[in-house]
Amino acid sequence: MKTKLTLSNLADVQTECLAVVVLDHNTDKSKDAKPQPQVAAEKTVADAVTEILATGDVAAKPMETTLIHAPRGLKAKRLLLVGGGKEAKFNADELRKIGGTAARFVKSKNLKSFAIAVPERKVNPEVAVQALVEGAFIGDFDPNYYQSDRKDQSLNEVTVVGGPKADQKALQAALEIGRIVGESQNFTRDLVNEPGNKMTPTIMGERAKKMCAEMGLQCEVYGKEKLMELKMGSFWSVSQGSAEPPALIVMRYEPAGAPAEPVLGLVGKGITFDTGGISIKPADGMEKMKYDMAGGAAMIGAMRAIAQLKPNVRVIGIVCAAENMPSGTAQKPGDVQFAMNGKAIEIINTDAEGRLVLADGLCYARQLGCTHLVDAATLTGACVVALGMVNAGIFASDDDFYSRFHAAQKSAGEKFWRLPLDDEYRDMIKSGIADIVNSGGRWGGAVTAAKFLQEFVEDKPWIHLDIAGVAWMEENKPWIAKGPSGIAVRTLVELARSFAKN
Residues catalogued as catalytic:
281, 355
DSSP assignment of 313-347:
SEEEEEEEEEEE--STTS--TT-EEE-TTS-EEE-
* Element housing 225 (H / E): helix 224-229
Residue pair 87/65 in contact (Cβ under 8 Å)? The answer is no
CA distances from 90 to 30, 127, 306, 413, 456 (A): 19, 13, 29, 13, 42
CA–CA separation, 99 vs 63, rounded Å? 10
Q: Which of 114, 203, 129 is nearest to 159 (CA)?
A: 114
Residue 268: which of 471, 464, 497, 450 has the closest Cα?
464
Contacts of 487 (CB under 8 A, 6+ apart): 294, 298, 392, 414, 467, 470, 471
Q: Would you give the DSSP letter of residue 166?
A: S
CB 418 within 8 A of CB 442: no
Measured torsion, CA atoms of residues 47, 49, 54, 59, in degrees rounded to the nearest 10: -130
Residue 496 near residue 315 (C-beta atoms within 8 A): yes
First to last CA, the chain: 33
Cβ atoms 385, 366 nearer than 8 A = no
Question: β-pairing, 218-222 with 247-253?
Answer: antiparallel
Burial class for 108, CB neighbours closer than 10 Å (0-12, 13-18, 19+): exposed
If residue 376 lies in a helix (H) or strand (E), which one and from where to where?
A: strand 372-377
The values of phi and psi at residue 244, to 5°, are: -85, 130
Distance, CA of 361 to chain centre: 20
Q: Is the peptide bond prior to 259 cis by the omega test (within 30 degrees of 0)?
A: no
